[in-house]
Structure 1
């Protein structure tokens, strides 16, 4: 039984006990009072009749008239006169009077008043004894009315007291409910503080739990800061803030070989000239400041591209990868103009500040080959003159034919005609047991054509504003699949659909029709989309957690410094990006970072899954570091 039911039961029992006690005392005192009044009335009536008859003649007619004058008032049950020898001289008795008072009430509260007696004299002789017994129906009527009044007042005061009790209990329940929510949040490893209630006992408890939550949050924040510093130390250049060579190579391999990566893009190699001359003329602080500005300029290029990658490869060479971009010359020209704007800071020591080589790439290309081609484009740029750039010619990709006027309609038709299918990849737990199946989309753009991977068409569907319809089709397929087979299923949701309120509501309505399947459904959103529209992502989590779905982030790790934002969302899992996983068995520093990441996520109740695992050695290393699951080409 809940606390509030117990409180209500206690209030009701106390109220009933008080009422029964007061009712019993009131009824007893009222009945005693009525009995006393009846007894006095009997005595007074007997004395009055005895005095009257004593002064009159004692013939039967006169006696009968005197008795009748009093008896006919209807207030008496019997009046009798008996002689000294016990003979009845005159007597009047009244049958029981009909009344509206219930019999059970009369039986439960009997009223008995002693008869009134008085002596009648005849001169100096005793004539007889008169006995008067009043009728009790009026006393019962008064007692019944008293009972009705007591019950009425009890109902009125009980109702009023109940309303007051409701307000008091609500005042107590509100902070208690907040404390229960806080306790639930703590069990879910979410940091939730509450306002301190006015009730002193509750205030001390709330203050203690708030202090506990703050200590946990501070500890989490400290651990996050420590791991973020380690992450930057391992993967970023301290001077420019760009990725270092190792991190660049790892992420570039991911961009080139993951099937959900972009179909292609551009790669730029930027070389700064005569940095040694700057170091000789100025101190290292000036040079580092200039390099920092260069890093900022490179990182800002194509900032709207979520998967862009910028890095410092060595002292003077920088790299920039921009997926889903075709015009390499545009970015090379723009970056050259912005970099040459920094020339005045060299005090005229350098006139030929930079050269840029740009090439196009396609998913599946080898990174070594791309870097060699980019170096060749850079060499060509250096031959073109001062601060020159060169973009190699783009090779066409036949996987998506965007020629012709109706190519956009082909995508619309493919989605409306449901030319979609899902391909499943296993995600296994630390013990090797299946965790869930990850559903990856395939789209047939041309009728009877090839089935394309997500990376081949997602950029195009985004430009055509078709991602919402595409995602709804994917979830319908997932629901059909879950109806036909057991197990749990993970489905990717694009950042665009997550941010679109209309499509988000349509998806919620679709899932509400299948509440039994929601418990088996894992929904994951790209990390960049979640953090770029965080408040929208918060609303998304609130809606779909209520439906019972498990929620997670995929390709996690590039916004690690913002992980503290996730503590109150109720996320269930994180899928760490393959760039952190690639060759992890040989990267001791990265192992330390990932182990800390797993511990940090586990401290807030989030499981961690590695994606892009290619070898059994990587899988064993990741499990040893604390990962709860793995998936990738090397996972069977």
Structure 2
């Protein structure tokens, strides 16, 4: 049985009230009019009877004159019957017509029956009684008058009902609008979007909205307080207090995560060493040395210069590292950076400071020990040369030839048009070891080789083909989900740069609506670093997908942890925690406390939490004990 909504019930009450009021008013009016007409008919009969009796009496009850007078009165048409009855009960004169129906409906005459009472008046002849005159008025005219009155009253009652209904509809619409705002707020909460609404003027709805808003504000406050606490804990555990740079443990974890990512664009690692830092500290004093190192660290944290995904670290007292995109690591840029940092150090020491610097590209198959070995050798050469130049550990390394942007544009257009794209799938396991979903990075066919996304996505972004590639990846995922009902889910990584395309969100929503059943197992995710730059556009995407069955998440989460304070009104479904926090988590008590707090705060707003970059069984067991819902990485099969 279909349930009736509260708004429908209100409408039914308003309509019922208007109809009952109109019907009651009309009925009462008609019955009053009927009673009035009956009284008028009775009065008319009495007046006519008295007048005739008087005239006939004045004419000595002459039968001929009496009949003439009665005929004259009867011919006016206002009476159904006029009779003169003598003293013996015999009708001396009788004039009678059939009751007139006129245009009045029969049902109306049956409902509002007029029963005019006949009137009598005595006739005398001298002192002798000559009988009586009996008059019964014709009700047909009264019925017609009552019918016309009913029509007129019905019109005005209907008009009044419409006016009252219009006023009632305004009231119901106001209530409906207020109620829907509260309902939408409650619905948003179920979708993990904690929003406040304006409080309605009415006391009842106002109190309800006030209570809902208070609850949302408490959730936000709790969320923000916990986010601030976790951010402080994260910085305390993973960052150097003097320079603000990542410490060695966190940096090595991030480096391991970078090496484990399957679709990462080219990365370069710089290693720097300040010569004679201990002696410099003794000469300048700790406060001035700390200020020098603080400015040194600030220069390395310049995300506008090195990119949002860059990471600088203080590995130990005098050694520093900078991980950045290869596009920002051209030799000329590195030489300029070396000169700037050297000048900064020399300005504090009032003498030339030797700053050794070495650089190497991260290669497929590299282990951390391979990278650090190359850098250590190159750094030794830089120190031997007095730190006057940047030593490149890859000078003899053969890099693939680069294509021009125009050539890349043609390759990408052809791949999209000819569908020379595919998804490769990697397992994401849930806490029980079952399949949560499968990550599906995109591959592009060039010649006979399938290129990973890290090799073509940077050029897709540069040539503005990234939105088309993302839509193609989603289309492939939906097709595979439709063809494989047993598949638990496919996760497609969307580039945040696609949000710059004004048509991207509409096209994505159209694709998902066309494959609504399969989309129930579609997972869409974006990297945290890209979302930070385009947060409002990401919010638009989340709102557009809110009523669709697909899931939305954030991957590589935690590098820009301040973002967690803005997640309460997005309605996302899950977070994938960056592998830099996961590396050797079984041995890192500080990060264990941090990740446990992340899981708690995420679960409190209904978000699932997945760990990236998991390598060992010990890491898996520790992560599951901390509350993670899923695991992915080289150690997860």
TM-score band, normalised by the shorter chain? over 0.9
Cα drift, residue 105 of structure 1: 0.8
Checking the alignment, whether the CA contact within 8 Å between 1:351 and 1:386 is kept in structure 2 is no
Q: Secondary structure at the match of 1:363?
A: coil
Name the CA shift for 1:331/1:453 in 2 (closer, same or farther; >3 Å). same
Partner Cα separation in structure 2 for residue 589 and residue 310 of structure 1: 20
Q: 1:156 and 2:159 equivalent?
A: yes
Aligned to 1:274: 276
Q: Secondary structure at the match of 2:480?
A: helix
> Map of 1:337-416 to 2, 5 A cutoff?
337-343=339-345, 345-346=347-348, 348=350, 350-385=351-386, 387-396=388-397, 402=403, 406=407, 409-416=410-417
Partner Cα separation in structure 1 for residue 177 and residue 464 of structure 2: 45
Aligned to 2:326: 324
Partner Cα separation in structure 1 for residue 161 and residue 261 of structure 2: 72
Checking the alignment, whether the CA contact within 8 Å between 2:270 and 2:357 is kept in structure 1 is yes
Bigger mean CA deviation after superposition, 581-590 or 294-303: 294-303
Name the CA shift for 1:302/1:172 in 2 (closer, same or farther; >3 Å). closer
Partner Cα separation in structure 2 for residue 4 and residue 301 of structure 1: 54
Aligned to 2:309: 307
Of 118, 136, 141, which aligns to 1:138? 141
Partner Cα separation in structure 2 for residue 274 and residue 257 of structure 1: 35
Checking the alignment, whether the CA contact within 8 Å between 2:192 and 2:570 is kept in structure 1 is no
Residue-by-residue CA offset, 1:307-344 (whole Å, 9 max, x unaligned): 32211111111011223337542232121222133246
Partner Cα separation in structure 1 for residue 605 and residue 166 of structure 2: 42
Cα drift, residue 509 of structure 1: 2.5
Aligned to 2:290: 288
TM-score by length of 2: 0.94
Aligned to 2:446: 445
Partner Cα separation in structure 2 for residue 327 and residue 213 of structure 1: 46
Aligned to 2:102: 99
Aligned to 2:492: 491
Residue-by-residue CA offset, 1:541-582 (whole Å, 9 max, x unaligned): 111223332101111110112211111000001111122222
Unaligned runs of 5+ residues in structure 1 are none
Bigger mean CA deviation after superposition, 505-514 or 305-314: 505-514
Q: Secondary structure at the match of 1:97?
A: coil
Name the CA shift for 1:302/1:173 in 2 (closer, same or farther; >3 Å). closer
Name the CA shift for 1:467/1:18 in 2 (closer, same or farther; >3 Å). closer
Partner Cα separation in structure 2 for residue 440 and residue 388 of structure 1: 39
Q: 1:208 and 2:211 equivalent?
A: yes
Number of aligned pairs?
A: 632
Checking the alignment, whether the CA contact within 8 Å between 2:200 and 2:209 is kept in structure 1 is yes
TM-score by length of 1: 0.94
Aligned to 2:636: 635
Partner Cα separation in structure 1 for residue 52 and residue 543 of structure 2: 91
Partner Cα separation in structure 2 for residue 96 and residue 229 of structure 1: 100
Aligned to 1:260: 263
Bigger mean CA deviation after superposition, 411-420 or 555-564: 411-420
Residue-by-residue CA offset, 1:421-452 (whole Å, 9 max, x unaligned): 11222222112222222222222112xx1222
Aligned to 1:77: 80
Q: Secondary structure at the match of 1:444?
A: strand
Aligned to 2:195: 192
RMSD: 2.2
Partner Cα separation in structure 1 for residue 493 and residue 47 of structure 2: 101
Q: 1:421 and 2:422 equivalent?
A: yes
Checking the alignment, whether the CA contact within 8 Å between 1:257 and 1:364 is kept in structure 2 is no
Partner Cα separation in structure 2 for residue 141 and residue 602 of structure 1: 78
Aligned to 1:513: 514
Partner Cα separation in structure 1 for residue 133 and residue 304 of structure 2: 123
Aligned to 2:48: 45
Q: Secondary structure at the match of 2:320?
A: strand
Partner Cα separation in structure 2 for residue 342 and residue 327 of structure 1: 20
Cα drift, residue 271 of structure 1: 1.3
Q: Secondary structure at the match of 1:325?
A: helix
Q: Secondary structure at the match of 2:134?
A: strand
